Chains A and B, each alone.
Chain A
Amino acid sequence: QQPVQSPQAVILREGEDAVINCSSSKALYSVHWYRQKHGEAPVFLMILLKGGEQKGHDKISASFNEKKQQSSLYLTASQLSYSGTYFCGTVRFSGNTPLVFGKGTRLSVIA
């Protein structure tokens, strides 16, 4: 079951904040966030496990609301380097289940 991401695209000026959401209709074990720049491989950002944890590094953080089966990625004080497409990937069980990705959110940061 593919997770649903919103918004599909967002344009920010440097220094502005953004929130990207990822929702699932099924119970999840974990949510993974990746960023992909044009022509490059997706790069891992962070994993959140069920239990409603929140993680972050630098000015990018994320939360996972287990009750809502929703994860949010927070980008604060955006930089030009944050531009790219952000994908959430979800895993339903801790065993042999695949990482299933949403359609992505295209983020463009302009000067």
Chain B
Amino acid sequence: DAGVTQSPTHLIKTRGQQVTLRCSPKSGHDTVSWYQQALGQGPQFIFQYYEEEERQRGNFPDRFSGHQFPNYSSELNVNALLLGDSALYLCASSYASPGNTEAFFGQGTRLTVV
């Protein structure tokens, strides 16, 4: 089992550009959550996808959008990048809601906006 895989691992973008990050959940998991982790901070919840729909959303602007595919993989899109978007983006997968089940994290995508 490959666990949760994310791509790419590192990315450098220019302000104003758009970026797409990808996540493949652990086998058997149907729920994908995305988090933004700034240096020295805890992961901040962006949104959660289940059955190809956004089920929950954190306090992030509409520039952040996502998608979940029928195979449960997911994408995170960020438009009009700002310097403040530089962070580690983590994907976590779980079976149904993570309320009482373990969420597995991927290694993350390190996004640098210059």
Contact = CB atoms under 8 A, between A and B. Distances in A.
Interface of A: 2, 29-30, 32, 34, 40-44, 47, 49, 87, 89, 91, 93-104
6 contacts: A2-B42, A41-B108, A87-B42, A97-B56, A101-B35, A101-B43
B33 A99 contact: yes
B33 A42 contact: no
Contact of B107 (A30, A41, A49, A103): A41
B26 to A, nearest CB: 11
Contacts of B97: 91, 94-97
B50 A44 contact: no
Chain B interface main SS type: loop
Nearest to A87: B42
Chain A interface main SS type: loop
A29 B35 CA distance: 21
B58 interface: yes
Given A102-B42, A103-B42, A104-B41, A97 B99 contact: yes
Interface residues of B, number: 27
Contacts of A99: 33, 45, 92, 98, 103
B42 A47 contact: no
B23 to A, nearest CB: 12
Contacts of A97: 56, 97, 99
Given A41-B105, A96-B50, A91 B42 contact: no
B12 to A, nearest CB: 17
A94 B42 contact: no
B104 A30 contact: no
